[in-house]
Amino acid sequence: MLSIKNLYASVEGQEILKGINLEIKPGEVHAIMGPNGSGKSTLANVLAGKDDYEITADEITFLGENLLDKSPETRAKDGLFLSFQYPVEIPGVPMVNFIKTAVNEHRKHRGEKELTAGEFLKLMRKKMELVELKTKLTNRSVNEGFSGGEKKKNEIFQMAMLEPKLAILDETDSGLDIDALKTVANGVNALKSPETSSIVITHYQRLLDYIVPDFVHVLYHGKIVKSGGKELAFELEEKGYDWIKKENGN
Amino acid sequence: MSVLVEKADLSLKYISHYNKVKEILFEGSSYVLNDVRNRAFQDFIIQGIPTQKNENYKYTNLNPRFLPDFEFVHHKENNNVDIKTVFRCDVPQLNLEPRLIFNGWYHRISNESLNLPEGVILCSLAEIANNNPDLIKEYYGKIAKTDSDSMVALNTAYAKDGYFLYIPKNVIVEKPIQLINFLQAETDTFVTQRNLIIIEQGASTNLIFCDHTLNLNNYLNNSVTEIFVGENANLDYYTLQNQHNRTSSINSVFIQQERDSVATTHTYSLHGGLIRNNLKFVLNGENAEANMYGMAFLDRKQHIDNFTQIIHAKPNCQSNQVYKNVLDGESTGAFSGMIHVVRDAQNTNAFQQNNNLLLTDEAKMQTKPQLIIDADDVKCSHGATVGQIDEEAMFYLRARGIDEDKARLMMMNAFAHDVVRKIKVEALGNRIDELVEKRLNGEIARCHECAYNCEM
């Protein structure tokens, strides 16, 4: 699905990612944990195609194709989805128009016919139920005036609409109470299949109670310093990140 | 030859022209227009064509626009205009019977059915001034002062025609009234248009004024519109400016409002070489509400200058201004908004906002709020921004599979959105949405103006 070999990324001369290696196969869930400032969000943004970074890598392939050559929109249409840590409010861009455009761009990319207004509304209702998004979307601008929890649910709703092959969830749990967390996790799990994979970026183990990872990686100072199974998350929860910092010379 | 001499020559050119055609201007015109004509011209001579040393014209250099050897249109051209052959307004459901102004002269369209409520008059200014001078003499030239703006002075000196609209007391005109302003001539042409609108107490109307230029000459369009909105009356005044790059348009609108009235202007500047919009409101009665919305799109070397003045002359009035500009290419823009709250105009609420989106490094915008507040219990706020498209939002849209061009378009539409949604005539709102999208897509150049624009 995704293969990252020796990825470096810097912004304004400051190196943030310092040689990341990661292999993700279809059906797998990988958790990436680590203290603040370790480069987790940078990794997510680099994969989604944000162009704020200087990037070098031996290779990054997504579904066997070179990822770095592609624009953010092509990556999205190929099936890569980023659930933003801070979804952007875009006053004046109607939510429904936005998601409809996105869905139809995906369909065109796959050589499918665009959805009619009726088909689209039906699909939208179904997916809103799936993620228990009760926010009224018509006559609203993208994320504008949404609460923190609504914004995160809205991300998962968009994911449900776009049905990506690889979903990167960047701190989808931050700012959510336990009920909202469960709802969001249920949404993510409902979309899981043997052909789809996810990268779950989080500080805390609690999200991983609901979205159970196959692998857990610890990112520290721009490098993956430890990888393991889901038990690694419990260890981190118990001991904090200090032992990682010590092991890696602070 | 020094620049100064050149400029003096330029004003001299107009002075000698006026003296030459004076008789023609007086001939056939009502005393209402003629009584102020010479005085207006004296005011023009004193002030001259404004230079950028004039604080009110600091950001717009009109002088080069007066250079061509213009022909003037002193007579109504005797072409039986059939509107259907030159223009068809295809706004769906708007379904109006538009009236036509041709190079500044009001034309009755053949088979024109005046489908207006009883008592409403829509006709040529020259006609009403000759046939019923009593109706207009208290209004004509009352708020468009010739001693404070030389372009108003020049207009008043040359004024022969334009449109006249009269809505009598308590008459509600449900259907919007549409006027189409055409410029079409064989040579470079100077057009003077003088309009007068009287909306009496309790009356209400929507007026849509559309500009079109039909061929590729240099045009200078100097128009003045005086609007009187009576007690508890209501006016929505829409202007769609859509002219080619060789057109300079100086468009001065004066609105005086009496108590409890609401007047709203919507100014859409979709295309034009140079556009100067002077808009002055005088809130002359308590509880009056004035709204000014403006949206402009510019590219290449186009220039726009929105110059607004709002005089809060009486207490308890409200004013709202939202002007937005999208500037592409090497275009330049200016916004200058003056709010004057006179002594004792207590409990005034005045709001002003000007936002500008620069799409290139070459585009330039000047924005200048001016507040003059001589009362103590007032609420005035103003804000101005000049910026680029929000790149975070762009990335968000693109990360959902929306390509860069489309995302940029969505962002520009979003920028325009809170002005466009103020349009109350639904069919017009939809059309403006479409035009805005076309304009942003660069498609508007494929309208009938296309052939001209490509050469510029």
Comparing A136-140, B98-102, B213-217, B305-309, which segment has the lowest mean pLDDT? B213-217
A247 contact partners, CB below 8 Å, separation of at least 6: A225
pLDDT in tens, B342-352: 999 999 999 99
B399 in any annotated domain: no
> What is the tally of structural domains in chain A?
1
Amino acid identity for residue B254 in this structure: F
For residue B396, give the chain A residue with the closest CA.
Answer: A88
Q: How far apart are CA A167 and CA A163, in angstroms?
A: 9
Partners of B403 on chain A (C-beta within 8 Å) are 71, 73, 105
Mean pLDDT of chain B: 88
Mention every residue, 6+ apart, whose C-beta is less than 8 A from residue B21: B72, B74
What does R_g of chain A's alpha carbons equal in angstroms?
Answer: 18
Any idea what the CATH number is for the domain that residue A181 is in? 3.40.50.300
Residue B409 placed within a domain: no
Pair of tokens at residue B63: 């002088």
Q: What is the dihedral of CA A91, A94, A100, A105, to 10 degrees?
A: -40
Q: Which of A71, A83, A93 is the best mutation test for B, with the most CBs of B within 10 A?
A: A93
First CA to last CA across chain A, in angstroms?
A: 33
User: What is the rounded CA–CA span in Å between residue B154 and residue B137?
Assistant: 19
- H helix runs in chain A, sequence order: 40-48, 72-78, 95-109, 117-130, 148-162, 178-190, 206-210, 231-239, 242-247
Position B56: which residue type? N
Tens of pLDDT, residues B121-147: 999 999 999 999 999 999 999 999 999
Kind plus residue range of the DSSP H or E element containing B36: none
Q: How many CB atoms lie within 10 A of CB B118?
A: 6
What is the pLDDT, as a whole number, of residue B454? Answer: 29
B421 interfacial to chain A (CB closer than 8 Å): no
* B177-187 per-position pLDDT tens digit: 888 888 888 89
Q: pLDDT for B243-270, tens place per residue?
A: 888 899 999 999 999 999 999 999 999 8
Is the CB of residue B246 less than 8 Å from the CB of residue B456?
yes
Q: Which of A183, A162, A192, A173 is nearest to A81 (CA)?
A: A162
Average pLDDT over residues B427-431: 79
**Confidence class for position A26, pLDDT limits 50, 70, 90:** very high
Subunit contact A73:B393, Cβ cutoff 8 A: no
B405 in a domain, yes or no? no
Option in B393, B398, B418 nearest A90 (CB) = B393
Supply angle C-alpha B447, B452, B454, rounded to 5.
Answer: 90
B446 Cβ contact partners less than 8 Å away, ≥ 6 residues apart: none
Distance between CA A85 and CA A82 in Å, rounded? 9
Query: What domain range is B182 assigned to?
Result: 3-388+423-453
CB pairs < 8 Å spanning A and B: 78
Cβ neighbours of B411 in A, within 8 Å: 90, 93
Amino acid present at A49: G
Answer yes or no: is pLDDT of B385 > 50. yes
Of the candidates B202, B178, B67, the residue with the CA atom closest to the CA atom of residue B115? B178
Please, which pLDDT band fits residue B309 given cuts at 50, 70 and 90? Answer: very high
Q: Which residues contact A22 (CB under 8 A, 6 or more apart)?
A: A2, A3, A4, A30, A217, A224
Confidence of residue B456 (pLDDT cuts 50, 70, 90): very low
Residue B397, chain A, CB below 8 Å: the answer is yes
Pairing of strands A141-142, B247-257: unpaired
Average pLDDT over residues B186-196: 94
Is B415 close to A92, i.e. CB distance below 8 A?
yes
Q: What is the pLDDT of residues A86-121, one digit of tens each?
A: 999 998 899 999 999 999 999 999 999 999 999 999
Q: What is the mean pLDDT of residues A9-20?
A: 92
Residue B206 contacts residue B177 (beta carbons within 8 Å): yes
Q: Do A92 and B393 touch (CB under 8 A)?
A: no
| Number of structural domains found in chain B | 1
pLDDT in tens, A149-208: 889 989 999 999 999 999 999 998 888 888 888 888 888 888 889 999 999 999 888 888
Q: B398 touching A, CB under 8 A?
A: yes
Tell me, yes or no, whether B251 lies in a domain.
Answer: yes
Is residue B400 one of the residues assigned to a domain?
Answer: no
B446 falls in which pLDDT band (50, 70, 90)? very low
Per-residue pLDDT at B80: 53
For residue range B65-87, list pLDDT tens digits in order: 999 999 998 888 765 555 555 55
Nearest beta carbon to residue A88 from set B396, B403, B413? B396
The proportion of chain A whose per-residue pLDDT surpasses 90, expressed as a percent, equals 62
Asked if B74 is an interface residue toward chain A (Cβ–Cβ < 8 A), one would say no
Q: What is the pLDDT of residue B452?
A: 30
pLDDT at A110: 93
Residue A32 · residue A40 · CB < 8 Å: yes
Higher pLDDT, B434 or A39: A39
Q: Which residue has the higher pLDDT, B320 or A147?
A: B320
Which two structure tokens, joined as six digits, stand for B268? 């859409």
> What are the phi and psi torsion angles at B253 (to 5°)?
-120, 130
CB atoms under 10 Å from CB of A37, counted, come to: 12
Which residue in B has a C-alpha nearest to residue A80's C-alpha?
Answer: B399
B426 or B407, higher pLDDT? B407
Flag whether B403 is in a domain.
Answer: no
What are the residues whose beta carbons fall under 8 Å from the beta carbon of B176, sequence distance 6 or more? B94, B96, B205, B206, B207, B208, B238, B425, B428
Q: Give percent above pLDDT 70 in chain A.
A: 99
Pairwise CB contact (< 8 Å): B395 & A106 = no
B175 Cβ contact partners less than 8 Å away, ≥ 6 residues apart: B96, B115, B206
CB distance A93–B413 less than 8 Å? Answer: yes
Burial class (CB in 10 A: 0-12, 13-18, 19+), B80: exposed
d(CA A67, CA A77): 12
Distances (CA, A) of B190 to A2, A83, B65, B217: 67, 59, 10, 10
Option in B400, B404, B416 nearest A76 (CB): B400
State which residues form the domain around A15. Answer: 2-247
Residue A124 confidence (pLDDT) above 90: yes
Cβ-based contacts of A75 with chain B (< 8 Å): 399
Rg (CA), chain B: 21
Q: Is B329 helix (H, G, I), strand (E, B) or coil?
A: coil
CB A9 within 8 A of CB A42: yes
Predicted confidence (pLDDT) at residue B211 exceeds the cutoff of 90: no
Extract the tokens encoding B339: 């709010």
CB of B406 less than 8 A from some CB of A: yes
Beta B262-271 vs A223-228: how paired, if at all? unpaired
Evaluate if pTM is beyond 0.80. yes
CA distances from A110 to A107, A120, A167 (A): 5, 17, 18
Check B404 against A71: CB less than 8 A apart: yes
What spatial distance separates the first Cα and last Cα of chain B, rounded to whole Å? 28
Question: B281 pLDDT band (50/70/90 cuts)?
Answer: very high
Average pLDDT value for residue range B206-220: 85
Q: How many CB atoms lie within 10 A of CB B197?
A: 22
Residue of A nearest to B407 (CA): A98
Do residues B169 and B65 touch, judged by C-beta distance below 8 A? no
B293-320 average pLDDT score: 95
Contact at CB, A158 and B413, closer than 8 angstroms: no
Contacts of B336 (CB under 8 A, 6+ apart): B56, B59, B305, B306, B307, B308, B367, B368, B369, B370
Rounded Cα distance between B233 and B245, Å, is 37
Separation CA B141–CA B54 (nearest Å): 23
Amino acid found at B126: A
What 3 state SS string does B346-405 have?
CCEEEEEEEEEEECCCCCEEEEEEEEEECCCCEEEEEEEEEECCCHHHHHHHHCCCCCHH
